[in-house]
Amino acid sequence: MNARSTARAIPLLATAGVFIFFAAMFAVPSGYSYGGALLLLASLIWLAGRPALTRLTVTDRWMIAVLLLYFAIPSAMTVWLNNNLNEIDQYSRALLAIPIFLLLLHVPVKPANIWAAILIGVTLSAPLAWWQIHVLHMGRAAGFLNVIHFSNLTLVFSIYCVAGLYWAGTQGRHVRLWQAGFLLATICGLYSVIVGGSRASWVALPPVAVVFLVAFLNRRNIGRLALAATIGAVVIIGLFALPNSTLQTRYEQAVQDVTRYQEDQPDSSVGARFEMWRGALHNLRQRPIEGWNLQSYTQGLESQITQGELSPVALAFNNNLHNNFIQAWVFTGLPGLLALLALYGLPLWHFARQLRTSEMTVRVLAFCGTSTVVAYLCFSLSQVILNRNNGIMFYLLAIAILWGAMSRARCQASPG
């Protein structure tokens, strides 16, 4: 392939990779990985041509450094503590995201292609969820992910679609078509969240709602947003009150779990989390900087259990603490925890700075980026979401795609 052919192929490959990544997220087994692999291939071909990296800002360089550090520091701590080397495979996703990040900063992917892929992806989640619930008679829809990540990611897609309604308003004669698509996709996404039944997903809604108000609330639309919020609250209350409501069942189960834990019965979903966190924090007081080797950590838990200080349920989850922050701190030490915080903190700061910009495309993309980080911060409180392939790949690639699209939109808004 000559240089001219490569120059024409790279934008097509990048667009196809982004499109497949979002559109195949739920309806195709490991669908996200095909889009990610195509983006990686495109980025490596592009970098092989030794392009001039002229679009890199200081913040872009900091993001590259954060990705590199998130690979290097936890990997080094894993080796030093003699923990499971398979964990390095997950950290390597951050290293592989660097060429993709560079590609998407320099090779444009049109927002319309990104939005179309998001619409298709989340809309397809609903019939799959319906099939699993009503035909396969599964208790909770999981798609091709798992119940928790299916709920989490369909919620993130739904949040994107709500923000997309604002972008749709800039699309001239196609505005009604886009608005209809976003409304349908939002309904499909929320249906998937509900039948997925993950309580942790709903925890992200209040902070994301605050981000939404920061981005879009003004004197002109305060009445419309208040009406929309009221309608939304009525719908949720109605869904909660329905007979055999999944929302009500999951809420009552959480209340029951907390009550049982207070009665010294920690053997439940919520109670087990409380107990394993209590054991982890006890052990972290002994080694707050360097962290723990898994074998030594397990022996510490066994000692606590023998002395009656901890329930045996904590030992069943000795290598999965159901909290990304505690997990990183225990098994990669304080350096690993700081690397994780940087992976969340820098994108949060970068996107949040643009939440009140006057250019609507930039603002919508900034909201989506900020909401992705905020949602993941919430998800990370009750699960080790970045230690699963779909969890870390979605976070890294969504951030890279939104970052690149927002950078290009900013350049177009102020070409001078």
Distance CA 117, CA 99 (A): 22
367 and 301 in a common domain: no
**381-398: per-residue pLDDT in tens?**
989 999 999 999 999 999
pLDDT for 106: 92
Judgement on whether residues 361 and 343 belong to the same structural domain of the protein: yes
What's the confidence (pLDDT) of residue 224?
76
CA 57 to chain CA centroid, Å, is 25
Q: Is residue 99 part of a domain?
A: yes
Task: Let me know whether 399 and 332 are in one domain.
Answer: yes
Identity of the residue numbered 94: A
Are 297 and 377 in the same domain? no
* Residues 344 and 407 both lie in one domain: yes
**Residue 366 falls within a domain, yes or no?**
yes
What pLDDT was estimated at residue 247?
Answer: 66
Q: Which residues of 280-313 are buried (b: 16+ CB within 10 A; e: fewer)?
A: beebbeebeeebbbbeebeebbeebbeeeebbeb
pLDDT exceeds 80 at position 245: no
Tokens 């320099």 sit at which residue?
106
Span 350-377, mean pLDDT?
96
Same-domain pairing of 336 and 410 = yes
Give the total number of structural domains in the chain.
2
Cα–Cα distance between 63 and 342 in angstroms, integer? 9
Residues 415 and 344 in one domain: yes
What pLDDT is attached to residue 328? 96
63-91 average pLDDT score: 95
Residue 398 lies in a domain: yes
To the nearest whole number, what is the mean pLDDT of the chain?
89
Instruction: Read off the pLDDT of each residue in 158-180 and give the average, rounded to a whole number.
Output: 93
Q: Residue 263 corresponds to which tokens in the numbers above?
A: 């009665």
Position 180 in a domain: no
Q: In this structure, is residue 390 part of a structural domain?
A: yes
Is the residue at 41 inside a domain? Answer: no
pLDDT band at 415 (very low <50, low <70, confident <90, very high): low
Instruction: Provide the percentage of residues in the chain whose pLDDT is more than 70.
Output: 92
SS3 of 27, please? Answer: coil
Same domain, 404 and 327: yes
Buried b (16+ CB within 10 A) or exposed e, 224-245: eeeeeeeeeeeeeeeeeeeeee
Q: Which of 300, 317, 334 is the last residue of a domain?
A: 317
Determine, yes or no, domain membership for 1. no
Residue at 345 is within a domain: yes
Higher pLDDT, 200 or 377: 377
Asked if residue 346 and residue 394 are part of one domain, the reply reads: yes
Q: What is the pLDDT of residue 230?
A: 78
Residue 201: the pLDDT is 82
pTM (predicted TM-score) = 0.93
Say if residue 329 is in the same domain as residue 378. yes
Last residue of a domain, one of 257, 286, 317: 317
d(CA 386, CA 396): 10
> Interior CA angle at 71 toward 65 and 74, to 5°?
120
Half-sphere exposure of 356 (CA within 13 A, CB side): 5
Band (243; pLDDT cuts 50, 70, 90): low
Please determine, for residue 15, whether its predicted confidence score (pLDDT) is greater than 80.
yes
Give residue-wise pLDDT tens across range 306-343.
Answer: 888 888 888 888 888 999 999 999 999 999 999 999 99
Structural domain range at position 272: 266-317
**Highest-pLDDT range among 72-76, 107-111, 262-266:** 72-76
Same domain, 327 and 413: yes
Q: Are 328 and 304 in a shared domain?
A: no
